[in-house]
Amino acid sequence: MLGTFQQSHLRIEVEASETSIREALLSPEQLRQWMAPQSLSQGLPEWLQLGTVFTSWTGPIAIQHHVNEVQSNSLRLLLNQGIDGFHQWQWGDGWVQSSLEGVSPLPLNLGQTFSLWKLKQFLTHR
């Protein structure tokens, strides 16, 4: 893949319970709401689970996500196509942490910051 190796680790405070954060990250229906303008592939299960594979698009750029780990307070996605790497989510009452590493021509830190901002807005106005 063309691009540069990038890594970004961000943690934010949110006024939300661990359960609300978990639902926002593991429910494809909720993911679609806060990830806009990104779109997700159709036909996903009610909850992301180990082995689930889906694609997201930002305009013409596709990123395939493979759910590699799901715990009560963490989610790990292996990424390929637009990003070759991984995205690790961890959360608890009042906080969310996102770690993203991979090779990509995309500005990963900018996209990650925007995604966390969108998630925070979604959880705050729910």
Whole-number average pLDDT of the chain:
95
- Structural domain count of the chain: 1
What's the pLDDT score for residue 2? 82
Taking CB atoms within 8 Å and a gap of at least 24, the contacts of 23-32 are 24/119, 24/122, 24/123, 25/75, 25/89, 25/91, 25/119, 26/70, 26/75, 28/54, 30/122
pLDDT over threshold 90, residue 16: yes
Average pLDDT over residues 83-112: 95
Q: What's the token pair of residue 121? A: 């807005």
Domain interval for residue 113 = 4-124
Predicted confidence band at 5 (pLDDT cuts at 50, 70, 90)? very high
What are the tens digits of pLDDT across the range 41-80? Answer: 999 999 999 999 999 998 888 999 999 999 999 999 999 9
At 112, which CATH number? 3.30.530.20
Cα–Cα distances in angstroms (integers) from residue 85 to residues 1, 4, 6, 77, 80, in the given order = 11, 11, 9, 9, 7
Which is higher by pLDDT, 126 or 27? 27
pLDDT over threshold 80, residue 1: no
What's the pLDDT score for residue 11? 97
Torsion-angle region of 118 (φ positive above 0: left; ψ -120 to 50: alpha; else: beta): alpha
Q: What is the pTM of this model?
A: 0.93
What's the pLDDT score for residue 126? 80
